[in-house]
Structure 1
Amino acid sequence: MTPDEVAAFLATLPGCRQKGTRAVPAWYVANRIVARLVAHDELMIRCAFDVRERLVTEHPDTFGIPPAYEAHMKVQAMLYGDSGAIQSALREAWELQRKMAGRARPRPA
């Protein structure tokens, strides 16, 4: 996938908005991050820990866990990898963040 293809795919998901900068775009739903372009061929995708382990196990040439991501609900996706797997991971990230936004409680005034 290219960064433009990532942007086009995420634009099809209801409520997913692009923010960030031109050089480092990021996509959010309900102000919760779904993904961010880290380099021209690398994407950070938000995901649950069990999903991350599945992605890395099933698609080791596409997904990885850099040391900086180990303690966080994030996975590294290399855009030269399996585009179908990347799109599935992006959709799962979007669904996760929509659910999490629905659980958020308003802060007291």
Structure 2
Amino acid sequence: MSEIARTLDGVKESRAKGLLRWTLDGRMVARQYDDESIVIRIDFAERERLLAAHPDLFFVPPRFDAHQKVVLRLADADPAVVKSALVAAWNLQRAAD
């Protein structure tokens, strides 16, 4: 996961409260959710697309319902799916400028 995130131009890896975090210009792209999952910052339309296409990999905890976030289970995730979601998050943050 870290290897994929670090390939995105300008993304920096750090830790907050012991958990990995990937940011672009200080804005969250993704962060570690637990030992097996990450939270990805993503727009609502892309979130719905990912949930429909990969219901076994992506989920939204109730506390994230109103936020542009989705959780990805990494254990069985195809690297191409991980990269696609991270690129969408990266593009969202690049557009924030």
**Structure richer in helix, relative to its length:** 1
Separation (CA, whole Å) in 2 of partners of 1:73 and 1:79: 19
One-letter code aligned to 1:91:
V
Q: CA deviation at 1:23?
A: 3.3
Aligned residues: 96
Q: Give the secondary structure class of the aligned counterpart of 2:28.
A: strand
Partner of 1:26: 21
**Match status 1:98 vs 2:94:** yes
Q: 2:81 aligns with which of 65, 75, 85?
A: 85
Aligned to 1:105: none
CA RMSD, Structure 1 to Structure 2 (Å) = 1.3
Q: Distance in 1 between matches of 2:17 and 2:39?
A: 16
Unaligned runs of 5+ in 2: none
Tell me the TM-score normalised to structure 2 length: 0.92
Alignment of 1:7-22 (within 5 A): 7-21=2-16
Please give the secondary structure, in 2, of the residue aligned with 1:80: coil
Identity %: 35
Structure 1: runs of 5+ lacking an equivalent = 1-5, 103-109
Tell me how far apart the structure 2 counterparts of residues 85 and 11 of structure 1 sit (CA, whole Å).
16
In the TM superposition, residue 68 of structure 1 has moved relative to its aligned partner by 1.0
1:78 Cα deviation after fit: 0.3
